[in-house]
């Protein structure tokens, strides 16, 4: 059994992310062994398969965020967003009202999310005005 994957560290803990075409099935013994090894490294297993990755709105949200990975966000706009987010989590529509950027706010927060500077709460909703943005 391979432990190949990516380690993700979040507020919820550290996870070993493994993406497979089809999620593997484990015997009880394999499952117990895997959990034991992961616990020894302080990790939890987070497995995803093609169905999970292609499920909407997750798939479209990921495409939109990564499509903005090269969007130009000036230092001034980055500072404005950072100052605004120091007050706490805010929806994109609130940021648009409070911060007047030289670029599109959605594109800017997507770029910053790609740089791991902000987190977008996109769990079960499409990216849009009500998406919550948090500075990391």
pLDDT digits (tens, 9 = 90+) for 100-123: 999 999 999 999 999 999 999 987
Q: Is the pTM of this model over 0.85?
A: no
Q: Can you give the pLDDT at residue 2?
A: 67
Q: What percent of the chain has pLDDT over 70?
A: 99
Q: Can you give the pLDDT at residue 28?
A: 94
Is the pLDDT reported for residue 54 higher than 70? yes
Alpha carbon distance 53, 48 (integer Å): 7
Angle (CA) 25-31-35 rounded to 5° is 135
Alpha carbon distance 114, 19 (integer Å): 19
Q: Are 135 and 121 in contact (CB under 8 A)?
A: no
Q: Can you give the pLDDT at residue 1?
A: 62
């Amino acid at each position: 059994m391979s432990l190949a994957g990516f380690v993700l560290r979040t507020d919820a803990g550290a996870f070993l992310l493994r993406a497979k075409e089809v999620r593997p099935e484990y015997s009880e013994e394999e499952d117990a062994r895997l959990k034991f090894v992961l616990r020894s490294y302080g990790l939890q297993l987070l497995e995803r398969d093609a169905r999970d990755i292609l499920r909407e709105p997750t798939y479209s949200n990921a495409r939109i965020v990564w499509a903005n990975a090269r969007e130009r966000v000036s230092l001034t706009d980055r500072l404005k967003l950072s100052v605004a987010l120091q007050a706490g989590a805010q929806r994109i529509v609130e940021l648009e009202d409070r911060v007047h950027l030289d670029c599109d706010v959605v594109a800017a927060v997507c770029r910053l999310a790609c740089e791991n500077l902000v987190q977008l709460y996109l769990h079960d909703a499409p990216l849009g005005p009500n998406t919550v943005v948090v500075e990391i």
